[in-house]
Amino acid sequence: MNDDYSRYPEAMQRLFAEADKKLAGRPKLLGMFKRCFASTLETTTKRMEDGSTFVITGDIPAMWLRDSSAQVRHYIPLAAEDAELGAMIEGVVRRQMMYVGIDPYANAFNESPNDERYDEDLTDLNPWVWERKYEIDSLCYPVQLSYLYWKATGRTAMFDEQYRSALRRILQLWETEQHHDAQSSYRFQRFDCPPTDTLRNGGKGMPVNYTGMTWSGFRPSDDACTFGYLVPSNMFAAVVLGYMAEIADQVYRDERLRRKAERLKEEIEFGIEAYGTLFHPKYGKIYAYETDGYGNHHLMDDANVPSLLSIPYLGYRSADDPVYRNTRRFILSEDNPYYYEGTAASGIGSPHTPHRYIWHIALSMQGLTSRDPQEAVRLLDTLLATDADTGFMHEGFHADDPQLYTRPWFAWSNSLFAEFVHGLMRQGAFD
């Protein structure tokens, strides 16, 4: 990367100057950190005339509610001292909440109402929607982003009536999807596609029993759920409902909204702990990835976040929580069907990518949630060694050959790597 930092916001210029000193002895790490940290701002964000910010995922020209939040989260620590970065993040939130108002079931949107999309799926479409796969986390991420930004900066301008209206729509949808079979009108079918791209049972998904949790059609990988209660996404929702309650109380002074968020949070958490756990003969009490409320559980973890691995990162439980520790041992073992060990790396992959492909997002998340400094350094070395000499992170790569990889331009992965490295810098790991 060119050492002329003048094109970047001032806070980024100072961070890169700090990195030049702290990472001077590791030139590859220094170069990758700066490239990955700047990638979202340089290549995927577009300021709109209305003051909002449109963010593409990288190689896909649409804005995912999830990805756009994750892509800019690593800028939050700098936003308090940098008005330019702050305006960009606030613009992302405004754009996201506009989209939630258009269709809270959609996961990805167009820059304009141009009717572009992957496929003409059998669901309720409109010209703004790129894809309408309903995923709980799509509604969690914008709230998380805005809350963390608020706490870091103290700024509340984005909490306008459009934002409050979006919160109400999210709460209403999650309440409806607590009773998916009886109350939900959501359907999604895609034809001539892999089974993971569509919902069974006429687009409704397989039956679920009431648990207190809220239903999801798809995972954060955009793959269909096997069972409708996706546990890590419900964990994310529970955390975000706490954020909503605090925003309702401290920003809007809206007692009704606060009580509604708190009640739903309690119901979802009860459902997670009562229906989303089980006793494993090898690992003890662990969290399942999915359940249907009828006693069936899907034991796995996926690289995409929210995941079981990311529980402490989401803020649902601490890294020292005994059930999380048991779950972590399970998902970082061969008993997780998507954990792969190879000659180049070991880590979590996804049914979304080919067999034995490990995801850089999962390796970064493993490092971000680790309490072992040696594990974190080992994971950082693995990330550096598996970039296929591109200087960037990817989606998945083959466990035996990092030269085989998917998505050379995947901004979320770059941002999470940058967040991991920046965190290590702040902890003094390179001093």
3-state SS, one letter per residue, for the chain: CCCCCCCCCHHHHHHHHHHHHHCCCCHHHHHHHHHHHHHHHHHCEEECCCCCEEECCECCCCEEHHHHHHHHHHHHHHHCCCHHHHHHHHHHHHHHHHHHHHCCCCCEECCCCCCCCCCCCECCCCCCEEECCCCHHHHHHHHHHHHHHHHHHCCCCCCCHHHHHHHHHHHHHHHHHHHHHHHCCCCCECCCCCHHHCCHHHHCCCCCCCCCCCCCCECCCCCECCCCEEHHHHHHHHHHHHHHHHHHHHHHCCHHHHHHHHHHHHHHHHHHHHHCEEEECCCEEEECCEECCCCCEECCCCCCCCCCCCHHHHCCCCCCCHHHHHHHHHHCCCCCCCEEECCCCEEEECCCCCCCEEEHHHHHHHHHCCCCHHHHHHHHHHHHHCCCCCCCCCCEEECCEEEEECCCCEHHHHHHHHHHHHHHHHCCCCC
Res 2: pLDDT: 55
pLDDT at 5 over 90: no
Q: How far apart are CA 125 and CA 145, in angstroms?
A: 26
Banded model confidence at residue 1, pLDDT cuts 50, 70, 90: low
Mean pLDDT of the chain: 97
Using a 10 angstrom Cβ sphere, with 0-12 exposed, 13-18 middle and 19 or more buried, the burial of residue 143 is: buried
Query: pLDDT band at 208, cuts 50/70/90?
Result: very high
Asked whether 140 and 306 are in contact (CB, 8 A), the reply is yes
Backbone φ and ψ for 222, nearest 5 degrees, come out as 75, 10
Does the pLDDT at position 4 exceed 60?
A: yes
**Dihedral of CA 7/425/31/304: which sign?**
negative
pLDDT at residue 223 in the model = 97
Residues 74-98: pLDDT tens digits?
A: 999 999 999 999 999 999 999 999 9
The confidence score (pLDDT) of residue 354 equals 96
CA dist 72 to 41, 111, 178, 409, Å? 8, 18, 31, 16
What 278-281 contacts at long range (C-beta under 8 Å, 24+ apart), as own/partner pairs, is: 280/326, 280/330
pLDDT the model gives residue 393 = 97
For 340-389, the pLDDT digits (tens) are 999 999 999 999 999 999 999 999 999 999 999 999 999 999 999 999 99
Whole-model pTM above 0.95? Answer: yes
Q: Looking at residue 431, what is its pLDDT?
A: 86
The mean pLDDT value for 170-199 works out to: 97
Q: What is the pLDDT of residue 76?
A: 98
Is the confidence at residue 118, as pLDDT, over 90?
no
Q: What is the pLDDT of residues 39-75, one digit of tens each?
A: 999 999 999 999 999 999 988 999 999 999 999 999 9
pLDDT of residue 344: 97
Taking the C-alpha atoms of residue 400 and residue 341, their distance in angstroms, rounded to an integer, is 8
Q: What proportion of the chain, given as a percentage, has pLDDT over 90?
A: 97
What's the rounded Cα separation, in Å, for the pair 210 and 158? 35
Residue type, 379: L
Domain ranges of the chain: 44-337
- How many CA atoms lie less than 13 Å away from 1 in the CB half-sphere? 27
Q: Is the pLDDT of residue 139 over 80?
A: yes
Task: Find, among 135, 137, 55, the residue nearest to 93 by Cα.
Answer: 55
User: In the chain, what's the furthest Cα-to-Cα distance?
Assistant: 61
Length reported for the chain = 431
Spatial separation of the C-alpha atoms in residues 277 and 235, rounded to whole Å: 12
325 has pLDDT over 80:
yes
Nearest to 302 by CA among 230, 381, 241: 230
Confidence of residue 6 (pLDDT cuts 50, 70, 90): confident
Domain 44-337 in this protein, CATH class: mainly alpha
